[in-house]
Amino acid sequence: MKAIIFGAPGAGKGTYSTRMQNQLGVDVIAMGDIFRESVKQNTELGKKVKSYVEKGALVPDEVVLEVLKDRLKKVPKGKGFLLDGFPRTIAQAESLQSIAKIDVILMLDVPDQIIIERLTSRRLCKSCGAVYNIRFLKPKVEGKCDKCGGELYQRSDDNEAVIRNRLQVYKTQTEPLVEYYRKKNTPFIVNVTKSVDQPPEPMVEHMMAELKKMGLA
């Protein structure tokens, strides 16, 4: 299965991808995670990416494609993948088409206000990357990761001003991709979030059931 998971920043793409990875037996390719690791290690790519990420802007296509092609080479032959954070523009989608045929789009429909509430209260573990939320997914010990005991922190771009900018970027540059893939008759599985603390499990079950109907899971 070759799939894309779509949704605004904070819609839960990483959460659902992680939960579905083992069930589907695919590689999850999260461009944001690749970029953040590069920034953390201060690589040449990281230096290029840093200024864009901190402003909530999109990383230029040529940089993203360079990273994606390198990552796809590492996917074992015969194994599928789930793209998280790519494509984000029509130009990227057209470039992707020359690399791989996409079987299905997983679409996360989440209202802006829910995303803002989620992201401003999100915390991550510095050691293992586990995700928490100080409103509805709290760690057992404040400021400490349940899994490894690492220190929790708030990403610099998890503030309302940057989040609103990222949402606007998503609407103007990425939402047209929905129309692009619909015109290509690519199947969609749409999930609608109605509350800030809606658990992911029922939505994962729904997506898995729909993928099985399509013969992709």
Active site residue 123: no
Active site residue 166: yes
* Burial track 131-153 (b if 16+ CB lie within 10 A, e otherwise): ebbeeeeebeeeeebeeeebebe
pLDDT at 135: 87
User: How far is the C-alpha of 191 from the C-alpha of 205, rounded, in Å?
Assistant: 11
Angle at 91 between CA 163 and CA 73, to 5 degrees: 90
Q: What is the pLDDT of the chain when averaged over all its residues?
A: 90
Note whether 81 and 168 are within 8 A (CB): no
Task: Specify which of 39-48, 49-58, 103-112 reaches the highest per-range mean pLDDT.
Answer: 103-112
Chain segment 162-187, per-residue pLDDT in tens: 999 999 988 888 889 999 999 999 99
Active site residue 71: no
Contacts 24+ apart (CB under 8 A), 206-213: 207/16, 207/20, 207/106, 208/20, 208/23, 208/24, 211/1, 211/24, 211/104
Domain boundaries, the chain: 2-213
Question: Stretch 140-148: mean pLDDT, rounded?
Answer: 96
Active site residue 13: yes
Q: Say yes or no to pLDDT of 18 above 90.
A: no
The residue from 13, 36, 48, 118 that is catalytic is: 13
Active site residue 79: no
Q: Say yes or no to pLDDT of 158 above 80.
A: yes
Chain segment 191-212, per-residue pLDDT in tens: 999 898 888 889 999 999 999 9
Q: Say yes or no to pLDDT of 53 above 80.
A: no
C-alpha distance from residue 182 to each of 87, 105, 129, 186, 206 (Å): 15, 10, 34, 6, 21
CATH entry, 2-213, from 3.30.43.10, 3.30.420.40, 3.40.50.300, 3.40.50.720: 3.40.50.300
